[in-house]
């Protein structure tokens, strides 16, 4: 499984399209979220991924995130099995993002 550190996500190359797939529950997204210039953010809770798979483009890079990186790691594994090649897990999730990149993002 490919991992991406929060600092790597922060410096995502301009002009390289990717989807930041937030697999947390809606209440979690309301508490804290990540925005990265140039990335499209999609919110699909982990439990809905199989039913909503058609909303994702397997030819595009996908970076999955959750609270600490465990749920998103499971989604990465699932997406890889579905033929997604360029799929990454945000190591440490939004918690690591807050701790290392943007302390304005609330930790919960």
Q: Which residues are catalytic, by number?
A: 66
Please report which helix (H) or strand (E) contains residue 10, including its range.
helix 6-10
CA–CA separation, 105 vs 94, rounded Å? Answer: 8
State whether residue 64 is helix, strand or coil.
strand
Angle at 25 between CA 103 and CA 72, to 5 degrees: 75
């Amino acid at each position: 499984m490919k991992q991406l550190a929060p600092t790597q996500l922060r410096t995502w190359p301009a002009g390289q399209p990717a989807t930041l797939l937030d697999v947390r529950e809606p209440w979690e997204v309301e508490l804290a979220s990540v925005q990265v210039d140039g990335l499209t953010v999609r919110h699909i809770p982990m439990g809905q991924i199989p039913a909503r798979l058609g909303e994702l483009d397997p030819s595009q890079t996908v970076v999955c995130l959750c609270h600490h990186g465990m749920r998103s790691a499971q989604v990465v594994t699932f997406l890889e099995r579905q033929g997604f090649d360029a799929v990454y897990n945000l190591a440490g999730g939004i918690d690591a993002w807050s701790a290392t990149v943007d302390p304005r993002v609330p930790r919960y």
